[in-house]
Amino acid sequence: MKIRDIGVIVAALAAGYAGGKLSSGKSVQASSPVPISASKFTLVNGAGSAVAVLEPGPGGSARLIFMAGGRTVLALATSPDGFPFLAMEGRDGKDRVRIGLALSDKPYLAMSDDRWQSRVALGSLPPDTVPYPPDWDSWGLVFRGFGSEMPVAGIGMQKIGGRPLEGFLSVSGKAIK
C-alpha cells in the first residue's frame, strides 16, 4: 500500500469522525406514508406510449391492463359483480384465453379462436339456469363447434338434482355409456 493511499484512508476516517461530532445527535423521523389517489394510473415507455393502465372499470370494478402497440393484450380485472378474471386478447381484440370464477365461485378456463368464444372450456361447467341450483356440481372439459353453445365433445362429472355424482362422456352431443 502506498503512502498516498494511507493518507486518503486517514483523511476519510477523520472527516467521518468530525462529521459525527459536529452533528446534532438527533435522529430524523421519516414522515408517515401518505396514500396516493387517482382515478387512473398509466405507465408509459420511453417514447411516451402507454404500456399499462390501472383504472376503475364499469360498475365499481377494477382492472389492470397491459398493452402492446396501443391495444390490450392482457387484462387482470374484476367483473362488475365482483368476480376476478384474467383475459388474454388476440390482435383483433377478442378474448383468446380467459381464466376466472363463475357465479358460484368455481373456477373455469376458456379458450377461443377468432370465430367463436369458449371453443374449449375446462373446469366448472355452469348450468343453464341462474341462480344455480344449490346442489349443482358439474366439472369437465368440453369442446364446442363454431356457432354453438352446446358441446360437440366432452368429458367430466356432474351432479344434478338429488341424483348421485356421475361421470359423462359425450361425442357429437350423444352420451356414451
Give the model confidence (pLDDT) of 49-108 as tens digits: 999 999 998 888 899 999 998 899 999 999 888 889 999 999 888 889 999 997 778 899
Residue 175, pLDDT score: 76
Please, which contacts does 99-104 make with residues 24 or more away whose CB atoms are closer than 8 Å?
102/126, 103/130, 103/131, 103/132, 104/132, 104/136
Residue 97, pLDDT score: 95
Confidence band of 129 (pLDDT split at 50, 70, 90) = low
CB atoms within 10 A of CB 151: 23
User: Residue 46: is its pLDDT beyond 80?
Assistant: yes
**DSSP assignments along 66-126, one per residue:** EEETTEEEEEEEE-TTS-EEEEEE-TTS-EEEEEEE-TTS-EEEEE--SS-TTSEEEEE--
Residue 15, pLDDT score: 72
Give the whole-angstrom CA distance, residue 66 versus residue 44.
Answer: 11
Kindly state the average pLDDT of the residues 27-52. 88
Confidence band of 43 (pLDDT split at 50, 70, 90) = very high
**DSSP assignments along 62-82, one per residue:** EEEEEEETTEEEEEEEE-TTS
Residue 16, pLDDT score: 73
User: Residue 10: is its pLDDT beyond 90?
Assistant: no
Report the C-alpha dihedral over residues 84, 120, 96, 82, rounded to 10 degrees: -10
Residue 7, pLDDT score: 67
